[in-house]
Chain A
Amino acid sequence: GCGNGGDDAAEDNGDAGGDGETYEWRFVTEENQGQVQYEYAEEFAERLNEKSDGQINIDVYEFGGLGSEVDQVEQLQSGVVEFAIVSPGFTGTMVEEGQLFALQFLFPDDVAETQEVLETSEALNTHLAEKYEEHNIKPLSFWTEGAMQWTGSTQLRTPDDFQGFAMRTQESPLIMESYRQYGADPTAMSWSELYTGLQQGTVDGQENPIFFIEDAGFHEVQDHMTISNHNNYVAMTTVNPGFYNDLPEDIQAMIDETVEEMKEVGFELQDQMNEELLDAIIENEDYPTDVYELNEDEREQFRELAEPMRDYFRENGGEDAAEILDMLEEEIEEVTGEEA
């Protein structure tokens, strides 16, 4: 990795932890080697190991070894694992307010501005974070794995293209309702069946960040990709609060510092991966994919249809949904300088 920044720190902090105790921790992710979350966690582990002069050892787990995404969250809550990367989408049946990340065309169009909102937002880092802490999950940071794009067996440019279109989504009422607004038939399907489902036409299209589309090979079985940037895939770096609070202060500080450093590292990781793999999809001659970027007019049509989903969320997103979303909308406005 690119962890040379930690070398000097490691020497300075040679005696970190005072009593020379060693730590063996576990960090679970929802992705595999070569994908953003896993590489983030590996880098996180490496940096902490260097900072602590080998005192802290973190084993990073690929997805699947310890069960489903929901299993992993439960294991984090109980302290079976210390750290986890969690997508709010998989905890939407528990922390309902977290479903706000499924709202399309809410965050700024520009990914860098989105990252700024994620880093500075009080709505997220204080109020939403509290909601998670009530459930024994302590979010250390919110970050983006990149903008989400559509792929389809036919081109998706306007809401008309979604009429009767079988769109595969995660099993979330809010996401499914969003696609119904466009006129699509949303179908929940496990992602392990998705490749075959697309290949054989059981479903017509799906949404994901570019790196994931390329890695899973969805472009091999889809003729079209639309750079829709309709949403951002947001992930949280989380820790078990009981475990974290019991740590010596200098170790806590070391973790906090690493989380701060990782904001930039994580952003560049996804930026580089999404850019490189977009080129890979465009240049792939064995499996040609027509890539189309939505223009402002087209985005506006979708944005209008997506807008009412915010009220849907205010009503169905848990008791603090309205308050958190209102505050977030203001914060987004401050960053972009226009109405969210």
Chain B
Amino acid sequence: MNTFNRVISILDRSLMKIEELILSFAIIVISVMVIGNVLSRTFTGASWAFNEEISRFALFLATFIGISYVARKGRHISMSAFFDLAPHKIRKALAIIIPLVTAIVLFVLAYYAYGYMASVRDSGRVTAALRFPYYWMLIAVPLGFVLGGIQFLRNAWINIKEKDVYLATDKKDYDRTDGAI
């Protein structure tokens, strides 16, 4: 059991590193593409025809691979007024139910995202400038939903296992000991 936990923990750390790398790299690639294109257009008169496709690909990657990373950090935008004001017991229940249901929805979306990707693949559509199969642009979508779903399952699990309320595996609920509410 101990070895199992350690393996999971190593996998988890590596996955997080990969997600961080992808997010960071995507933003840098977008910057390089857009800046490079404008400099090239200004100084040589020629645009980078591939800049739009590569930038868009990087944005898709950041958006969907980011789902699980943002979930890990508890940073998805939500309206937490009711959650924040609720008594501890209800908060605890919500902290389990919300990520659980969220995970299910994300898995369903992963299924449809795969379906969409498959239909684009079958249509034979290619990108306009670099002419690579368009469905490559979509690979991040089902993958991102699956990874996001897994992370939300873990957010539910930590609330089942631990006594305190966790907003995410990496984020405990705000400290309420200052008697604010």
Contact = CB atoms under 8 A, between A and B. Distances in A.
Direct contact of A and B (CB under 8 A): yes
Interface of A: 70, 74, 77-78, 92-94, 135, 164, 166, 171-173, 176, 185, 187-188
A74 B129 contact: no
From DSSP, what is the main secondary structure of chain B's interface residues? Answer: loop
A34 to B, nearest CB: 29
B123, B131, B134: which has the most chain A beta carbons within 10 Å?
Answer: B123
B9 interface: no
Nearest to B47: A187
A74 B119 contact: yes
Say which size band chain B's interface belongs to: 10 to 19
Given A173-B129, A185-B45, A187-B47, A93 B134 contact: yes
Contacts of B131: 93, 173
A66 to B, nearest CB: 15
A93, A171, A176, A187: which has the most chain B beta carbons within 10 Å?
Answer: A93
Nearest to A172: B128
Interface in B91-144: 119-120, 123-129, 131, 134
Given A74-B119, A185-B46, A188-B49, A94 B128 contact: no
A173 B53 CA distance: 14
8 contacts: A74-B119, A77-B123, A94-B124, A135-B124, A171-B52, A171-B128, A187-B41, A188-B129
A53 to B, nearest CB: 38
A173 B128 contact: yes
B125 A94 contact: yes
B123 A135 contact: yes
Given A164-B45, A185-B45, A93 B126 contact: yes
Contact of A171 (B120, B124, B129): B129
A194 to B, nearest CB: 15
A74 B46 CA distance: 33
Nearest to A170: B128
Nearest to A187: B47
Contacts of B52: 171, 188
Nearest to A164: B45
B129 A94 contact: no
Contacts of A171: 52, 128-129
Nearest to B123: A94
A94 B134 CA distance: 10
A94 B47 CA distance: 25
A92 B126 CA distance: 9
Contacts of B129: 171, 173, 188
Nearest to B126: A93
A308 to B, nearest CB: 20
Nearest to B128: A171
Contacts of A94: 123-126
A190 to B, nearest CB: 9
Contact of B127 (A93, A135, A164, A187): A93
B74 to A, nearest CB: 32
Interface string B26-70: 000000000000000100011101001000000000000000000
Contacts of A176: 49
Given A74-B119, A94-B124, A187-B41, 18 more contacts: A70-B125, A77-B123, A93-B127, A93-B131, A93-B134, A94-B123, A94-B126, A164-B45, A171-B128, A173-B129, A173-B131, A176-B49, A185-B45, A185-B47, A187-B47, A188-B49, A188-B128, A188-B129
Contacts of B126: 93-94
Contacts of B49: 176, 188
Nearest to A185: B45
